Structure 1
Amino acid sequence: MKIYISGKITGLPLEETRRKFADAQALLEEIGFEVVNPMEKGLSPDATWEQHMVKDFELLLSCDAIYMMDNWIGSKGASIEYDAATRLEKDIWFESKVCRENKEVMRIQNAIHEVTGMQFHEYITKSRKRDGFFARMLFVYHCRRAKMKLTQIAKYVHRDHSSMLHLLNKYEDDFRYNPQFRDMATRVNNILNTTSDER
């Protein structure tokens, strides 16, 4: 999924703003997004506000989602981008919610990586390889156990709501009847239970 970063730029120190946008980009890429950072779009800092907005709209239109940094409400440009994204029915992600959820998501990703050796981007692709499918099933199951909404989990793995239900049902069956998957799932469970106890 391609996501556009939106936040306050005008009136803030340029280097501080670049750093905040770069931090947001790093976080979103870690989750598995293809990120569009308007601070890297190539317009000169001397360009007018209107020229920047035209370019920003062009970038936003090419994306599936928008990421609203916490300071967006104080920005006329970001507020306009939010309104446009709403009208265009793009997915809207808010920084504070993503950061809060991301701590748990990263914990789950790390446990799966430790057991399978797979990186997140490797098992959210359309590949039907068994290990990738197992890792995806583990990710969905543990996100759901962490009380995340199915629609939110679906966004992480770039699939629809019904796919989430299928993976959750399949998890139970495979845990009962597939020794290879049960071993993998048990090891992931043990890691997550240990790290949960340490918190």
Structure 2
Amino acid sequence: MKQTKIYISGQISGLTPEEYTANFTAAATRLTAQGYAVINPLNNGVDPSEPWREQMKADIRLLLDCDAIYMLANWELSNGATLEREIAKGLGLTVEYERRPLHRDIKRAILVAMAVPFKYIVNDSRGRWYVYARMIYAHHCKKRGVSTQAIAEETKHDTSTIHYHLRRYENEYKYNREFRAAAEKVATLLSNKLTTPSDVSI
């Protein structure tokens, strides 16, 4: 019986070589034990000093020869992994996850309404629009009964930051016209059970 060939995809940029190598190696070990033929892009022979575009071209060539893709838990923080996932979905490959993405409809609504991908909600950017997106994300998660601790873990911020965003949401909504417009657009998309356009990914 032919082995399913599976490609590992996840964050590299922003991590040390030791960190991302450990993530990919651990996944490769697990998947091999499960009977997959594992394709680890870290073994593709491309010099890490090569431009990002050249690395992605080499990685995509590997992906095209696979039956499935395995998304590491941090894939949402990576432009390359996000692109690889979209290509895999477009080709009809099986998409497996180390950890299922949470609250995808909220992430989609914020992306469509505010053009802010989830990785910028996670990043510690102080840009006004990114802070607004973080506040709106925390607000909608909290409305669903998600604990402050769980929101903090998902967004990689401490609980005091999430508490601050949750407290500030109400005032921003009342007195900040720009924030209110963004928040209302996100809420409308969620209430309409937004479906993701083909050119929008999370």
- Relative to the length of structure 1, the TM-score reads 0.55
Alignment-derived partner of residue 153 in structure 2:
155
The CA deviation at 1:9 is 4.6
- 2:26 is aligned with 1:28: no
Contact 2:32 2:38 in 1 (8 A): no
Alignment-derived partner of residue 12 in structure 1:
34
Percent identity among equivalent residues?
A: 22
Deviation per residue, 1:65-113 (Å, 9 max, x gap): xxxxxxxxxxxxxxxxxxxxxxxxxxxxx95xx42xx3x5211111001
Deviation per residue, 1:132-157 (Å, 9 max, x gap): 11011111111111222211211222
- 2:178 is aligned with 1:175: no
Cα distance change on mapping 1:11 and 1:175 into 2, 3 Å: closer
Instruction: Name stretches of at least 5 consecutive residues in structure 2 with no aligned partner.
Output: 1-14, 41-65, 80-96, 195-202
Aligned length: 132
In 2, Cα distance between equivalents of 1:21 and 1:147: 34
In 1, Cα distance between equivalents of 2:163 and 2:68: 35
Greater helix share, 1 or 2?
1
Cα distance change on mapping 1:172 and 1:14 into 2, 3 Å: same
Contact 2:152 2:162 in 1 (8 A): yes
The CA deviation at 1:24 is 3.1
Alignment-derived partner of residue 77 in structure 1:
none
| Equivalent runs, 1:1-199 vs 2, <5 Å | 4=23, 8-9=30-31, 11-15=33-37, 22-25=69-72, 28-30=74-76, 32=77, 98-99=99-100, 102=101, 104-195=102-193
For residue 121 of structure 1, give the secondary structure of its aligned residue in structure 2.
Answer: helix
Cα distance change on mapping 1:21 and 1:158 into 2, 3 Å: farther
CA RMSD across the alignment: 3.3
Deviation per residue, 1:118-143 (Å, 9 max, x gap): 21112322221111110111111111
Contact 1:9 1:17 in 2 (8 A): no
For residue 173 of structure 1, give the secondary structure of its aligned residue in structure 2.
Answer: helix
In 1, Cα distance between equivalents of 2:31 and 2:108: 33
Contact 1:112 1:188 in 2 (8 A): yes
Contact 1:108 1:139 in 2 (8 A): yes
Matched AA of 1:182: R
Matched AA of 1:173: N
Matched AA of 1:24: M
Matched AA of 1:125: N
Contact 1:140 1:153 in 2 (8 A): yes
The CA deviation at 1:21 is 9.5
In 1, Cα distance between equivalents of 2:134 and 2:158: 13
Matched AA of 1:12: Q
For residue 23 of structure 1, give the secondary structure of its aligned residue in structure 2.
Answer: strand
Cα distance change on mapping 1:119 and 1:12 into 2, 3 Å: closer
Contact 1:176 1:182 in 2 (8 A): yes
In the TM superposition, structure 1's runs of 4+ consecutive aligned residues that sit over 6 Å from their partners are 16-21
For residue 164 of structure 1, give the secondary structure of its aligned residue in structure 2.
Answer: helix
